[in-house]
A and B are shown apart, each in its own frame.
Chain A
């Protein structure tokens, strides 16, 4: 069912909690808006720690690298950021994603 809890999502938030409880710096990225054929639905999460480890998915691989580097800045300064990505057609084609989607990702620090 479309509203069913995404199991990977559950794991991501659980993992973020345990990472933070274990003393790591943690950021959570969330897909907040999509346009066109975006690969991951609104509400999808990516958890990132201060060494660049991440779990989850906001795009199915297309923009995770960029989100992780933003997240490391967010962990450092604590300021949330809203980042917009256009999934370039060529890139999307290469990694096997649907073309032409755009996503907006909110990255915040877990305090």
Chain B
């Protein structure tokens, strides 16, 4: 490996970009493949796609019998929850057990207290005041909006769609969501992007209590992470096509 390649690799990791180093162990030749640049033309496209999804490094053997090692670097997935609600109190510890970094944002300081969310970082501020200065939305982030209040939820939902977050979920009935869609459209968010919102939120498991709803949301987030397209396009007109 040469130092230039290692510098690019380390920079990508600091920037929370998913990248694989492909090494031919026989010759020592290597290259970096960024998830955002992965082309169907790449001779190892299926293997690389699988590796980006699983996040696991490993040896692969190509048709000509040569062995390549894939060192897979994917950023730790995070969940940003808008709203310090009952659902969030159940979701935060469950999501942490499943291995996600969780952060709660809620400007309503009566809700956003540390006692209610032991062990989970809380930002008692408006989402637009902490994103992106304190938290970045990217392809390895999920956004869950549960305040029911458009003044709080709408901005981060739009920001998450524009940033290509792997999951964007919003609490609310079909009626509530229909109104939300109208507001997002009025703000110039494309149909394709709006279509990515999971609403009503959560997998259909008949969840009733806040904790059960949290289970359904977490399951839906895991589904979105593990079954996502290899490249979830972030550019304006391709987001829908990538689904």
Contacts and interface: CB of A to CB of B under 8 A. Distances in A.
Contacts, number: 71
A110 B51 CA distance: 24
B56 A42 contact: yes
A3 interface: yes
A58 interface: no
Nearest to B100: A1
Nearest to B69: A32
B187 to A, nearest CB: 33
B241 interface: no
B10 A110 contact: no
A89 interface: no
B200 interface: no
B130 interface: no
A2 B2 contact: no
A80 B6 contact: no
Contacts of B122: none
Contacts of A10: 13
Describe A's contact surface by its main secondary structure. mixed
Contact of A13 (B2, B10, B99): B10
Contacts of A13: 6, 9-10, 13
Task: Kindly state the interface size class of chain B when it binds its partner.
Answer: 20 to 34
A109 B99 CA distance: 34
Contacts of B71: 30, 43
Given A17-B6, A30-B69, A108 B99 contact: no
Interface string B69-111: 1011111110000000000000000000011100000000000
A5 interface: yes
A3 B6 contact: no
Interface residues of A, number: 26
A111 B3 CA distance: 6
Contacts of B6: 13, 16-17, 20, 110
Nearest to A33: B59
A15 to B, nearest CB: 10
Interface string A4-42: 110000100110110011000000101011000000011
A42 B58 contact: yes
B1 A28 contact: yes
Given A4-B76, A110-B1, A42 B57 contact: yes
Contacts of A4: 55, 76-77, 99
B58 A1 contact: no
A80 B54 CA distance: 28
A108 B1 contact: yes
A34 to B, nearest CB: 10
21 contacts: A1-B55, A2-B55, A3-B54, A3-B74, A4-B55, A13-B10, A13-B13, A17-B3, A20-B3, A42-B56, A42-B57, A43-B56, A43-B58, A80-B25, A80-B28, A106-B23, A108-B1, A108-B23, A108-B28, A110-B6, A111-B1
Interface of B: 1-3, 6-7, 9-10, 13, 23, 25, 28, 54-59, 69, 71-77, 98-100
Question: What 8 pairs across the A-B complex have the smallest Cβ distances?
Answer: A3-B55, A1-B99, A43-B57, A4-B76, A111-B2, A80-B28, A32-B69, A42-B57
